[in-house]
Amino acid sequence: MQSRIPPSARTGGRPRSAAADTAILEATRQALVELGWSKLTLGDVATRAGVAKTTLYRRWAGKSELVVDAVAELFDELELPDRGSLAADIEGVVLQFAALLSRPETKTALMAVVAESTSDAPLRERIRTSIVDRQKRLVLAGRQRAQLRGELPPEPDPDAARQTADLIFDVTAGAVVHRTLVSAEPVDEDWARRFTLLLLGGLAATTQP
């Protein structure tokens, strides 16, 4: 799902510049790093991108939509490298996610758009599609891989499977975000190890009553 305003359906006319899109999103990230969310202005982004303000407004409805797109591109990089065991995979994901969150552009932007989204349902949906689901995908892939390895039993009930995945996701993402942004302390290998221990222990308790 895209936040961009689609071009006029009518054929004919000068097409939108693809280079402008790239320049704008890059300029947005750069401005986020230098100024932070609250001091970022669309006029400044336009100037940095070498683009007219109108061009920007023609494609995005506002600051939130633009920033979501700009940050979302960074989340595309997330992958699930095979580290050999479920525990190692989880630690890898946690560290990868933490690394992303500690970049200044994501740090300042993510909470801000989430805050904005509390009173803006379409924006919330866009965040979910562009950002959140990209992380959730990793949880599902990780479980699948662990089941192939025999580390986790197959889950016959699809409802329970989904519920558990959601819980793991909220716990993992929430913990990393909270540690990084609220507690403002680093997510290092040690923390990742201890968190993984907690998660896997809890998971065992959950599935083996």
Angle (CA) 93-26-137 rounded to 5° is 25
Q: Is residue 88 near a second copy by the rule CB under 8 A?
A: no
Q: Is residue 168 near DNA by the rule CB under 7 A?
A: no
* Residue 148 one-letter amino acid: L
Window 18-77: residues binding DNA (CB under 7 A): 20, 39-44, 50-55, 57-59, 62-63
Q: Is residue 4 near DNA by the rule CB under 7 A?
A: no
CA distances in angstroms from 61 to 3, 27, 65, 116, 207, listed in the order given: 8, 17, 6, 14, 45
Angle (CA) 101-93-80 rounded to 5° is 120
Q: Which does 100 bind (CB under 5 to 8 A by kind): a second copy, DNA, none?
A: none
Q: How many CB atoms lie within 10 A of CB 50?
A: 11
Window 45-84: residues binding a second copy (CB under 8 A): none
Of the two residues 118 and 208, which places its CB atom closer to DNA in the complex? 118
Size of the site for DNA (CB under 7 A): 28
Size of the site for a second copy (CB under 8 A): 51
Q: Is residue 119 near DNA by the rule CB under 7 A?
A: no
Of the two residues 74 and 200, which places its CB atom closer to a second copy in the complex? 200
Query: Hey, what are 87's tokens?
Result: 């525990």
- Cβ(68)–Cβ(1) below 8 Å: no
Q: Which residues contact 172 (CB under 8 A, 6 or more apart)?
A: 90, 93, 94, 97, 139, 195, 199
Window 100-139: residues binding a second copy (CB under 8 A): 104, 107-112, 114-119, 124, 127-128, 132
Q: Which residues contact 117 (CB under 8 A, 6 or more apart)?
A: 64, 123, 124, 127
Q: Is residue 183 near DNA by the rule CB under 7 A?
A: no
Q: Is residue 102 near DNA by the rule CB under 7 A?
A: no
Footprint on this chain of a second copy (rule: CB under 8 A): 36-38, 104, 107-112, 114-119, 124, 127-128, 132, 163, 166-167, 169-171, 173-179, 181-185, 191, 194-195, 197-206
Footprint on this chain of DNA (rule: CB under 7 A): 7-8, 10-17, 20, 39-44, 50-55, 57-59, 62-63
